[in-house]
Each structure stands twice: as C-alpha cells, then as structure tokens.
Amino acid sequence: MTRMKAIQIAKTGGPEVLELVDLPRPEPGPGEVLVRAQAIGVGKPDVLFRSGVYRWMPPLPAIPGAEMTGYVEALGAGVNANELCVGDPVLVYHLGGGCYAQYAKVPASAVTRLPAAIDLDDAVSIPNYQVAYALLTEAARGIAAKTVYVNGAAGGIGSAVIQLCRLQDIAVIAGASSAAKCAFARAQGATHTIDYSRENVAERLLALTQGHGVDLILDHIVGKDFTDNLKALAPFGLIVSFNALGGFPEKDLFREMRAHLPKSPGVRCFTMHSFDHDPAGRRRVAERVIEMFAGRRVHPPIDKRLPLAEARQAHELLDARAVLGKLILKP
C-alpha cells in the first residue's frame, strides 16, 4: 500500500498538537479527486481549525489545511474527464481541511484546473485573492468605494485587498500592528498606513479623509472597540466583518449604529461559506481571480516556504503575528 506524510491533529490546542504522521495514501471515491501536492497554503482558518473553534470542524483525528496546489493524480468514478484529467495542474480550495499532506482526496467541486502559465507556489494564494475579490465586489455590493480601510493588511488577504484596490484605482488605507508591517503594506501599494498598535484608527481615518470618512472598512479583528469604526465611515459607508479574531464589541452594535444615523451606516458579516450553496457564484469569483494571476496583474508576496514537517513552526509564526504575506508548506 502506498503511504504518504501528513500533518494531523488528534486533539485541539496550540501548535504542539500538529503531528507529522505516516498514513495510507487515500483513494478517490465517487465524485472525488486525488491531488498530489506541490504547495500548501497556511492561514488563519488553519489556526481556528487547530484550536477547535472552527465552525466547520470535522471529527478528530483530522488533517488541517484548506489550500493546496498540485497535480491531479487520480479521478474517482463520475468525475467529468473533460473538466479534469490526470496530470492537470490544479488548485484545491477545500474548507473541510485535508490539505496538510502529500496527497489530498477532495470533492471534485473543490478542484479548479489552472492555466499552465501560473506558478503553483503563487497559485496557493489564489484563495486569499478570492476572499479579497469577494469582499470588494460581493460583500460590498452596492458600495462604489473610492476609499477602503483594511486592517491586518500585512497578511495574505490584506495584501490581496491592497493589490486589487490598486488595480481599480481605489485609495486603500492599510492598518497593521508595527512599523515594519506598515512598510510592507506600502510596498504592496497602500496609499496610507495606520499603525494601530499606537494610533487611534478612527481619528486617523477621519484625518486622512479630511473628515469625510471611508466608504468601506474590511475588518477581520472586530474586538471590544469595533463600534468606534462607525464614526470613521463616510455617509452610506459599510463595514464588512470577515472574522472576529479579537472577540466581540463591548457596546451594543445596533444602538451605536443608530447613534450615527445621519451617516446611514451599514455592517455586514461575510464568509466564503456564503457560496456553499452558490457554486455558480463561487466559480465566477474564482474565474476572475485566475484571470488576474494568468495575466500577471497580481503578485502574491510569499513570506516563507517551509517543509511540510515544519507545520508547527509555521503556526508558531502565525500565532506570533510574524508573517508578512503568505506562508507555504512544501511536501
């Protein structure tokens, strides 16, 4: 029986629960595809998975990882051979995990064929750009944003937002937690930066926009002072929360929105799981982003490439907030 190396968790917790294991190589069942990994993405959802707070946790033991690029190794019964063939370069984006491995068995719907011109190490960042694109076009539907503020701008999604805004001539203000991360965000194309470890974000946003405020705030931290962002919105502005890594606001959100009623502020929560029952929408987002990668209109920054066996170190870097751009595991 063919074997493979994988990272598995038998219990939830810190980076120490990530264990390198030897497992039988899976075989694809009906409607499934087996992919041989070339590059594996590491991101914040993997930390939630490892910690046991991911809303879509599978039973343990389980293999983390939602992002992988590689090559089709085998097709299960019923997979359309006109859409996928053995040897095709592909992207796997599977929110159920399973990608921290030399091989991943996933539903065919989680596999996207890639143009040969796209570098597979770069392509592992495509999911970050899909989230960024969906935030700017789907979650912010109806907002013709001229100014955008994104926090956590030194990460994979934040840097993707900056690059996509630059393509659309949208002024983007990037929030980060250190001078080095602010410099990184400027290098990605941010118009302005805010070091939120030492600056008041709402006050700085109003100062940078001559008191008008920003049209769109993209926030994955939230936290106890989340409602302060309302004062930094332009009239009819919108805040999109796409995670809540800092916890929830102390003040009543609706009451605070009513306090800023003259601006008619909006708040929306967003997840890519919104597309779980909209495969056409998910495909539309994926196609737009893949076109950008194929045309080399975006350039994902890669922080480090680490061996699969060093997944624990990758998570330690994430926990320490020491990552600029994308972390990649190599099988």
- Per-residue model confidence (pLDDT) at position 235: 96
Residue 132, both tokens: 């960024």
Predicted TM-score (pTM) of the model is 0.89
Number of Cβ within 10 Å of residue 30's Cβ equals 9
**Cα–Cα distance between 62 and 75 in angstroms, integer?**
22
The pLDDT, as a whole number, for residue 140 is 92
The number of angstroms, rounded, from the C-alpha of 104 to the middle of its chain's C-alpha atoms is 20
Give the C-alpha distances (Å, rounded to integers) separating 326 from 24, 54, 125, 157, 277: 29, 20, 7, 9, 28
Domain limits, the chain: 3-125+300-330, 128-273
> Which runs of E-coded beta strand occur in 183-301?
192-195, 214-219, 233-241, 266-269
What gap in Å lies between CA 4 and CA 26, rounded to an integer? 9
The neighbour count for residue 48, using CB atoms within 10 Å, is 18
Residues sharing a CB contact under 8 Å with residue 4, sequence separation 6 or more, in sequence order: 22, 23, 24, 25, 101, 102, 103
276 vs 205: CA distance, rounded Å: 35
CATH of domain 3-125+300-330: 3.90.180.10
User: Around Cβ 314, how many Cβ atoms within 10 Å?
Assistant: 27
Residues 96, 270 contacting (CB under 8 angstroms): no
Cα–Cα distance, 327 to 156 (Å, whole number)? 8
Same topology for domains 3-125+300-330 and 128-273, yes or no? Answer: no
| Structure-block tokens of residue 248 | 């929830």
What is the 3-state secondary structure of 31-100? CEEEEEEEEEEECHHHHHHHHCCCCCCCCCCECCCCEEEEEEEEECCCCCCCCCCCCCEEEEECCCCCCC
Q: Give the C-alpha separation, 62 to 113, whole Å.
A: 26
> Rounded to whole angstroms, how far apart are CA atoms 237 and 266?
6
Plot region of 9 (φ>0 → left; ψ -120 to 50 → alpha; else → beta):
beta
Going residue by residue through the chain, which has 331 residues, state the pLDDT in tens, using 9 for 90 and above.
799 999 999 999 999 999 999 999 999 999 999 999 999 999 988 999 999 988 888 899 999 999 999 999 999 999 987 789 999 999 999 888 999 999 999 999 899 999 999 999 999 999 999 999 999 999 998 888 999 999 988 888 999 999 999 999 999 999 998 999 999 999 999 999 999 989 999 999 999 999 999 999 999 888 899 999 999 999 999 999 998 878 899 999 999 999 999 999 999 999 888 888 888 888 899 999 999 999 999 999 999 999 999 999 999 999 998 889 899 999 9
Give the pLDDT of residue 175: 94
Q: Alpha helix (H) ranges present in 109-210?
A: 120-123, 126-134, 156-167, 179-188, 201-208
- The CATH number for 128-273, chosen from 3.40.50.1820, 3.40.190.10, 3.90.400.10, 3.40.50.720, is 3.40.50.720
Kindly list the distances between the CA atom of residue 72 and the CA atoms of 33, 37, 98, in Å, as whole numbers in the listed order: 7, 9, 15
pLDDT at 81: 74
| pLDDT for res 142 | 85
